[in-house]
């Protein structure tokens, strides 16, 4: 079984985190954990929190009617990287806060500012029951995406891309990826391309150049 670290947040705070609008999560407690942190939207919400968009422009900018309508409750909706924690008593932190972070967080004294980066919002949120503090979501890794570590019913072992007329699998051997992670794949490195083509890529380019030279001589 595989385990991931998860933090449950009320909506709309969970949504603001995974879309990258809220880069600091303020908590009344500290943590020594650093690394990948999955964001779970709690099953309940307060209407007063959603109504913040009616009189605060920072909320209104991100929480449009369409966004609010599509917000998930009781789901793991994305992930971020927790890379640092500061005390809210830190004068440098408070001086660097922009208008949005001031609106989205509680920077009262003796609290903690969790610095977040690399937000990802999942196109296919995963239902889960939340818990307090940072909790672990355990699942069968045989049916989970190799990259995001979340279960998926549409795991793929191939995701091919046309490179100069050759269909190259952009996934590494042994990978099983969900459609969302496939969509975020980068082009494979030269070594991977060469291995799949069973011939150096530069040889292919040399063949093309030679053919072009011959064609010019025939004109």
Residue at 149 is within a domain:
no
- The region of weakest confidence among 4-18, 52-66, 102-116, 129-143 is 129-143
Domain boundary at 106, 139, 172, which?
Answer: 139
| Element (DSSP H or E) covering residue 122 | strand 112-127
- Please tell me the total count of domains within the chain: 2
Judgement on whether residues 165 and 204 belong to the same structural domain of the protein: yes
Residue 127: which of 175, 172, 72 has the closest Cα? 72
Q: What is the mean pLDDT of residues 138-167?
A: 70
**CA–CA dist 122, 40 (Å, integer):** 11
Judgement on whether residues 170 and 84 belong to the same structural domain of the protein: no
Helix, coil or strand: residue 174:
coil
Residue at 153 is within a domain:
no
Residue at 144 is within a domain:
no
Question: Looking only at Cα atoms, what is the longest distance across the chain?
Answer: 81
Judgement on whether residues 114 and 50 belong to the same structural domain of the protein: yes
The set of residues, in sequence order, having a beta carbon less than 8 Å from that of 105 and lying 6+ positions away, is 22, 24, 25, 26, 113
Does 12 sit behind a cis peptide bond, omega within 30 degrees of 0 on the bond before it? yes
Judgement on whether residues 32 and 112 belong to the same structural domain of the protein: yes
What is the pLDDT of the chain when averaged over all its residues?
A: 80
Residue at 173 is within a domain:
yes
> pLDDT digits over 158-200, tens only?
777 776 676 777 767 777 787 778 877 776 555 555 555 554 4
Judgement on whether residues 134 and 165 belong to the same structural domain of the protein: no
At 33, is the pLDDT very low, low, confident or very high (cuts 50, 70, 90)?
very high
Q: What is the predicted pLDDT for the residue at 156?
A: 77
The set of residues, in sequence order, having a beta carbon less than 8 Å from that of 12 and lying 6+ positions away, is 45, 49, 50, 52, 53, 59, 63, 68, 71
Judgement on whether residues 92 and 166 belong to the same structural domain of the protein: no
At 130, is the pLDDT very low, low, confident or very high (cuts 50, 70, 90)?
confident
Name the one residue in this structure whose structure tokens are 């969900």.
178
**CA–CA dist 126, 148 (Å, integer):** 11
Tell me the residue range of the domain where 196 lies: 160-218
Judgement on whether residues 98 and 172 belong to the same structural domain of the protein: no
Judgement on whether residues 60 and 17 belong to the same structural domain of the protein: yes
Encoded tokens for 91? 């004068």
Judgement on whether residues 33 and 112 belong to the same structural domain of the protein: yes
Judgement on whether residues 86 and 191 belong to the same structural domain of the protein: no
Residue at 192 is within a domain:
yes
Q: What is the mean pLDDT of residues 131-151?
A: 75
At 212, is the pLDDT very low, low, confident or very high (cuts 50, 70, 90)?
low
What DSSP assignment string belongs to 52-68?
GGGT-HHHHHH--HHHH
Residue at 12 is within a domain:
yes
At 218, is the pLDDT very low, low, confident or very high (cuts 50, 70, 90)?
low
Judgement on whether residues 32 and 127 belong to the same structural domain of the protein: yes
CATH code assigned at 120? 2.30.130.30
Residue 156: which of 13, 84, 147, 4 has the closest Cα? 147
Judgement on whether residues 124 and 30 belong to the same structural domain of the protein: yes
Residue 43: which of 80, 89, 76 has the closest Cα? 76
């Amino acid at each position: 079984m595989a385990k991931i670290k998860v933090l449950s947040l009320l909506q709309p705070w969970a949504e603001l985190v995974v879309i990258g609008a809220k880069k600091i999560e303020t908590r009344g407690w500290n943590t020594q954990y650093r690394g990948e942190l999955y964001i779970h939207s709690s099953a309940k919400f307060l209407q007063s929190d959603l109504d913040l968009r009616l009189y605060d422009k920072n909320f209104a900018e991100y929480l449009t009617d369409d966004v609010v309508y599509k917000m998930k409750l009781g789901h793991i909706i994305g992930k971020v990287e927790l890379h640092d924690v500061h005390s809210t008593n830190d004068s440098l932190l408070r001086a660097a806060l922009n208008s949005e972070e001031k609106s989205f967080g509680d920077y009262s004294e003796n609290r903690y500012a969790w610095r977040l980066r690399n937000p990802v919002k999942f196109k296919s949120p995963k239902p889960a029951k939340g818990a307090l503090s940072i909790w672990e979501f355990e699942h069968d890794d045989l049916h989970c995406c190799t990259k995001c570590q979340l279960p998926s019913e549409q795991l793929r072992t191939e995701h091919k891309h046309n490179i100069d007329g050759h269909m190259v699998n952009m996934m590494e051997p042994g990978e099983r990826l969900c459609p969302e992670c496939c969509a975020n794949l980068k082009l494979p490195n030269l070594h991977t391309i060469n291995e799949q083509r069973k011939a150096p890529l530069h040889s292919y380019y040399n063949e093309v150049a030679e053919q072009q030279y011959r064609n010019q001589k025939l004109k």
